[in-house]
Structures are given as structure tokens and as C-alpha cells.
Structure 1
Amino acid sequence: MLTKIDHLVIGAESLSQGVDYVRACLGVDIPYGGVHEKMGTHNHLMKIGKEIFLEIIAVNPEIASPDRPRWFGLDDPFVRQRIAQQPRLLAWVVNTDNLKTMMQQTLVSLGNLEPITRGNLNWDFGLPGDGSLIAAGMFPYAIQWHTDRHPATEMTDLNCSFQSLDIYHPYPEWLGSALTAIGAQRLVTINPLPPNSAPYLAASFKTPAGGKILKSCGALR
């Protein structure tokens, strides 16, 4: 089972809000992606590495609400309140060549295997029944693409490259063990926080405007 970082997810109250935010922080305009009919969302996408991308996602007000909670916690009142204040890094996603095996080995539930389509893209996604962020977004969602090439190879490259992902957590040993079980510990750096502190993500980028850090708890810098 091969595990890689697939993409990083910025949640926004609206796509225009998310695009404006990334433009102000990174100096680039992320192109439109498409609509997720099954999840009631739409997105903008940008390549940030050979097989990795950055996604801005928001509720799509122009299509019917799904008959289940949307992914990435977008129906959670707390998440909605936070992204209304400011778009932010919500989650990270890993890809695997065997999602069923990963779901059997994980110590943290990845939810149910959901087949998803968008345009000519097809993939399986591990999704909690309540649509919630997994471990407050510190543990990754998992995806298995059914494509000959990774979708990032077809996305616009705006000279923004992903450098690293740090996770700050009050229980680093627990998180490390959970990530090891799915082959993902080597993909990130886990930094300890005092007990009962709020965990957060910090993704580092090289951009046309210099080095930037995107945090789940605040703005880029």
C-alpha cells in the first residue's frame, strides 16, 4: 500500500471569498475546477507539485442540497462560522492504491468508501457518515483515483509549490501511531503542544511572493 499526500483543502464560505483570499496571500488566481453534484459543493484547483494540488472548496448554492452531510465539515456550524470569518486550511488528503486495505488497517475511522465523480474524473473517497473533519482535520481523508494519470498533471501551474506539512498536536504519540498505521507518518512533521491545546495544521509553500505558511488556525504569512 503506497500512501502520498494528494491535496490540501481550503474551506471558504463562497468560492469568490476563497479565491480573493488566496490571491491576497499567494498573489495568484486559482482557476475554477468544477461541481460535485453528490456533495453539493464546487471548487477551484491549482497544481502545487508533481502529483499534488491545492483546492478551494465551498457549498454550491446553485444546486440542490445533498441528502447527506457535505464533506470537509461544510455543514458543521462551527466550521461554517470559522470559514465565514476567513477562509482557512481545513484538511489534508492522502491517496493510496488500495483504499479498502487502508480502511481496514487504520486506527482512526476513515468513514465509508464513497464513489465520487466530477466530469470525466472518478474516484473513491473515505467519508465519515456525518461529513465531519477527521480528528479535527489533523488526520487525513483518503482517496483512490481511478485515472491513468494523477489529476494534478492536468491542472494549472502558477509557480506555487508545496514544501511541507507540519501538524501541531497535544498528543503527538497518538497521532504518530495513527498515521503510521496508514503509512502517512513520513509525509508530515508532528510537533508537540501542551496537553489540551487546540491542534492545528501549517502548510509551507514557495510562491512568487516568497515563502508562505498556511495555517488551519489563521492566515497565510
Structure 2
Amino acid sequence: MSSTEVDHLVVAAASLEQGVAWCEVTLGITPGPGGKHPLMGTHNRVFSIASAEFPGAYFEIIAIDPDAPSPPRRRWFGLDDPELQRRIAHSPRLVHVVARSRMLERHRGGLVHAGIDPGLPVAMSRDTLQGRLAWQVLVRDDGRLQLGGALPTLIEWDGTHPTEHMATSGVALRELQLGGLPPTVRQLLALQGVGYAPEPALRAVLSTPLGDVILETE
């Protein structure tokens, strides 16, 4: 079975305005444009964090879209969790990592066999100035993250990847450590470039215009 790669880091914010301000102060850049996810009632801002260690990686700041109707399902990345909303009320937080798969169904089957429910594939898309992006992503019905966010959400892109049209941002992902993943899951996903430790769930080291910045989950 093929290995997976780091696709993007997810930072949850109470609003995109809050997320942009946090990014400017913390990482020293203004994030690029993003889009809306009607099925989830969310919107985002994104920018490249690709590096030799993590080619094709990007950074997503995501928030509930106040102009969108309530979605017919629980939002992804645990955004409907009142505790998460309480924690991000004053400052955005690193909450998750998404991994890119080229064999989504087989990776999903492996996780289920290991006793983990990663959810079912959900087909999604959004329009950009460069054209439509389309993908399938595994999302649980309850929208919850597992293992404190350390178990990556799996995504498989259909055609164009978003980083193909992203300029260099000045921020690069140098290290990513996941905590608490069972050995069977590590072997199954074979996530390239990632290190492992007991905790925290996620620890990312980014080079930025302000110097190295470490982001960790609580």
C-alpha cells in the first residue's frame, strides 16, 4: 500500500478576521485567499508551507462561515464542539493535520480493520480564480477528530492540487510530530517526513519571516 503525505495543517479560528490577524502577528505574513465549503458551512484562508521535507504542504485557517446556512451535518474538524469554540474564542489554535492519499478506500479499509472509524468519503469542491478544486475526504458523521487530532484526516484530490497555484509564502514546514498514534496506524499510513512521540498530539515547526515558530495542540 502506498504511503501518505502531509497535505495541510489546520488552524481553527473563531472568525477568519481573527485568523488573519493571528497569522500576521504569529507567522509574519498575510494568508492568501481561500474559499467557502457550502456542505460544511465553513470558509478558509490558505497559503503554501511547502518545503523539501514536505512538498505540496499548505496551511489552512478555517472558521464557521457566519453567512452560510447551518449545514445538514456536523461540521468537520470538530468545529461544532463547544469546548473547541471556547478555546479558540480568544486565539486560533492548531487542531489537526490532513494527509494526502492516492488510495483512499484502501487506507480507509485499513483503519477500519485496525478498529478506527475514520468516516465515509465525502465528495466536495470549491471554485477558485484558477478553476474548480475537487476532492474526496473522510469525515465522521459526528465531525469529531480522534486521538486529539493526531489521527490525520485522509484526502484524495481529483486533478489539480491547491498548491499548484500558490505563490511562495515565506513560511515553510520543517518538522511535524504526531503523538499517540498506534504502531499499526503509523505502519498503515506511512506518513512521509513525520516523527512520533507520546505527546502532544501535534507539534509543528515552521520557518517564518519572524524566525522559527512552534505550534502545538493542547
Per-residue deviation, 1:134: 2.2
Q: How does 1:62-101 map to 2 (within 5 A)?
A: 62-101=67-106
Q: How does 1:192-207 map to 2 (within 5 A)?
A: 192=198, 199-207=200-208
Q: Is the 8 A contact 2:48 2:166 kept in 1?
A: yes
Identity %: 34
Rounded to whole Å, the distance in 1 between the matches of 2:157 and 2:135 is 4
Residue 190 of structure 1: aligned partner: 196
Report SS of the residue matched to 2:71.
Answer: coil
Task: Measure, in 1, the Cα distance between the counterparts of 2:101 and 2:45.
Answer: 23
Tell me, yes or no, if structure 1 residue 159 matches structure 2 residue 160: no
Could you say which residue in structure 1 is the equivalent of 2:120?
A: 112
**SS of equivalent to 1:32:** coil
CA distance in 1, matches of 2:184, 2:193: 13
* SS of aligned partner of 1:46: strand
Q: Contact 1:9 / 1:92 at 8 angstroms: preserved in 2?
A: yes
Aligned to 1:213: 214
User: For residue 154 of structure 2, what is the aligned residue in structure 1?
Assistant: 142
Residue equivalent to 1:131: 143
DSSP-derived class of the 1:68 partner: coil
Superposed displacement of residue 215, structure 1: 1.2
Aligned to 1:196: none
Q: Is the 8 A contact 1:165 1:189 kept in 2?
A: yes
- Give 3-state SS (helix, strand or coil) of 1:211's partner: strand
Q: TM-score, normalised by structure 2?
A: 0.90
Moved runs in structure 1, 4+ residues, more than 6 A?
none
Distance 1:146 1:201 in 2: 27
| 1:151 Cα deviation after fit | 1.5
- Structure 1 distance, partners of 2:151, 2:73, is 22
Match of residue 16 from structure 1:
17
Contact map agreement 1:47 1:153 (CA 8 A) in 2: no
Structure 2 Cα separation of the partners of residues 153 and 163 of structure 1: 20
Return the TM-score normalized by structure 1.
0.88
State the match for 2:185 in structure 1: 178
Rounded to whole Å, the distance in 2 between the matches of 1:42 and 1:155 is 18
Whole-Å separation in 2 of the counterparts to 1:23 and 1:131: 29
Deviation at 1:46, TM superposition (A): 0.2
Separation (CA, whole Å) in 2 of partners of 1:205 and 1:190:
17
1:60 maps onto 2:61 in alignment? no
Q: Matched residue of 1:72: which SS?
A: helix
CA distance in 2, matches of 1:144, 1:153: 15
What is the SS of the residue equivalent to 1:22? Answer: helix
Q: Which stretch has the larger CA shift, 174-183 or 115-124? A: 174-183
1:25-61 per-residue CA deviation (whole Å, 9 max, x = no partner) reads: 1110002200001110000000110411000000001
Structure 1's unaligned 5+ residue stretches are 194-198
Q: Judge conservation of contact 2:3–2:101 (CA < 8 Å) in 1.
A: yes
How far did 1:179 drift?
2.1
Structure 2: which 5+ runs fail to align?
none
| Contact 2:95/2:217, CA 8 A, preserved across alignment | yes
SS at match of 2:78: coil
Structure 1 residue 176 displacement after superposition:
3.0
Cα distance in 2 for residues equivalent to 1:136 and 1:122: 27
**Mapped partners of 1:77, 1:168: distance in 2:** 24
CA distance in 1, matches of 2:193, 2:154: 14
